[in-house]
Chains A and B, each alone.
Chain A
Amino acid sequence: MTAMFKKLLLIFTASIFFGTVFVSNSSAQKKFSTTYTAQKNVRLQLTNRSGTVTVEGWNKDKIEISAYLEAPAANIVPQNSSGTILINVVKDNQGRNDVGNVNFNIKVPYSSSVDIETRMGNLKVSNVSGGLVRANITSEGDIELTNISANSVSAENIIGDIFFDGVIKANGVYRFSSTKGNINLRVPTQSNFKLVATAPSTRNISLGSLSNAGFRFLSDGKRVTGSVGDGSATISVTNQRGTIAFLAR
């Protein structure tokens, strides 16, 4: 009987504890969501303070924005202006002493251009084939660009990894830069591009399947340059204190 009572008491206490945690969590996070009808070549321009941003391409002419706001909840005022959806959490919350993370989950048409930046936090973009994909983290966070087919791609952070998996288009410009982290690029082996990859501190530049393309190692291995195919696109990779690796797609 005493053991039974103890079990019941434990279950009761545990349920009260977890219930309280769940309630407090659910009350701490607010959700913001809105949907815009968009053209296929719409541009999303987002500036976040901190938190994770996930952007995903889908087969609809709509932009669906969902944001989970941690306390103290940030103000979000999206604007739809001549084919561009603008969200600037930094500007919308300027002068506020404390603002919680904002975690965005956004769906855009496949052929959209995506320009996102955050002061801190991870950025993920996938299934986008518009003219531009730019992901910029002012300080730390990982960048993951998956299944991208854009003419201009840029990814920059200070501390954190960068991963790119996509097509290198003719005459495209691709730029990846980090201070401390690993940069991994997964590109088709049949791509045509000129490459300058610089990893001066680690001198760890792995060309993988591209190693037969006749690249030159310069400055005692700090930099690799060369061309693949007709060299119409340009890829510039700089990692001050990390590694660079190319993977076959």
Chain B
Amino acid sequence: MKCENCQELLSEYIDGELNAVEAADVQTHLGMCVECAELHLDFSSILSFCDKREVVSEVSEPNLQALWCRIQNEIENEVKPEIAKELEIKKANRTWLEKLWDRTWQLSFTQTVSAVLGIALLSSLLTIVGVRNYSATNEFTADEAMSPTLFERVLGRIGVIETPRETREKRLVEQQTAIDYWNNRVEIRKAQWNSHLREAFDRNLQEIDQVVDEYTRILEENPQDTVSSEMLDSAMNEKMELLKGFSEL
């Protein structure tokens, strides 16, 4: 058998598709011809490999869901540390209010009761202050409502709120400053007034001064006298207006 004939039949020989006579001829030639024998080995190796691949592909079909799952896991494993890092940075930059807001509060019974009492106390205080302010603007409120309560007195003592006396003294200082200013202006002009005008001015100023002295004295004895406090304020304003009016003459 020639090499050409052998190589043509080699593929079928390997596959076992030749009859016995042809297969014996090919086998005899392979025994004698080195070149055809190497070719036979190569072919056999290739075919054997192909057969294995086919088997594998038949046995384990690709599971796409599992494959994507694995891909996803791989991605997450790479991405997660980066997200965690960003979150750490954000957490570090949060304001105190955000930190307070995010915090989980777990209070004991005592703490809860204390918090409720604190809120109630604060609400009461705000309500009292609000009502007082409303009353102060409403001049038709009963006189008694204007006098400070015990609670307000206590708050005044400890310096939380301004006492009526402190408010009055502060106002008096402001009024006295204005009075001093206008009084200086009057003193400059006064020498040029006629006697009639000068006498009238002195008479009225004296009248107001008497009122101021009277209410100052009453308030020293009873600082809570709201009517006298109002009258003193009114008299000081009148004095200011008198001086201002006459400083223009």
Contacts and interface: CB of A to CB of B under 8 A. Distances in A.
Given A119-B246, A225-B143, A234-B140, A139 B227 contact: no
Interface in A188-226: 194-196, 198, 200-201, 216, 218-219, 222-223, 225
Main secondary structure of the interface of B (DSSP, over half): helix
A49 B234 contact: no
A52 to B, nearest CB: 14
Interface residues of B, number: 34
Contact of B228 (A200, A216, A227): A200
B142 A158 contact: no
A12 B203 CA distance: 44
B242 A201 contact: no
B248 A201 contact: no
Nearest to A226: B140
A91 B249 CA distance: 9
Contacts of B207: 158-159, 179-180, 241
Interface string B142-157: 1110000000000000
Nearest to A101: B196
B192 interface: yes
Interface in A66-123: 90-91, 94, 97-98, 119-120
A223 B242 contact: no
Q: How large is the interface on A (under 10, 10 to 19, 20 to 34, 35 or more residues)?
A: 35 or more
Given A139-B201, A179-B238, A200-B231, A223 B143 contact: yes
A240 B211 contact: yes
B208 A158 contact: yes
Contact of A140 (B200, B211, B225): B200
A240 B241 contact: no
Interface of B: 139-140, 142-144, 192-194, 197, 200-201, 203-204, 207-208, 210-211, 214-215, 225-228, 230-231, 234-235, 238, 241-242, 245-246, 248-249
22 contacts: A50-B197, A90-B249, A91-B248, A119-B245, A138-B241, A138-B245, A139-B242, A139-B246, A159-B203, A179-B204, A195-B140, A196-B139, A196-B140, A200-B215, A200-B227, A201-B211, A219-B227, A225-B143, A236-B139, A238-B234, A240-B211, A241-B207
Interface of A: 49-50, 90-91, 94, 97-98, 119-120, 138-140, 158-159, 177, 179-180, 194-196, 198, 200-201, 216, 218-219, 222-223, 225, 227, 234, 236, 238, 240-241
Query: Which 10 residue pairs spanning A and B have beta carbons closest together?
Result: A138-B245, A218-B143, A139-B204, A97-B192, A219-B227, A158-B204, A194-B140, A222-B227, A240-B211, A120-B200
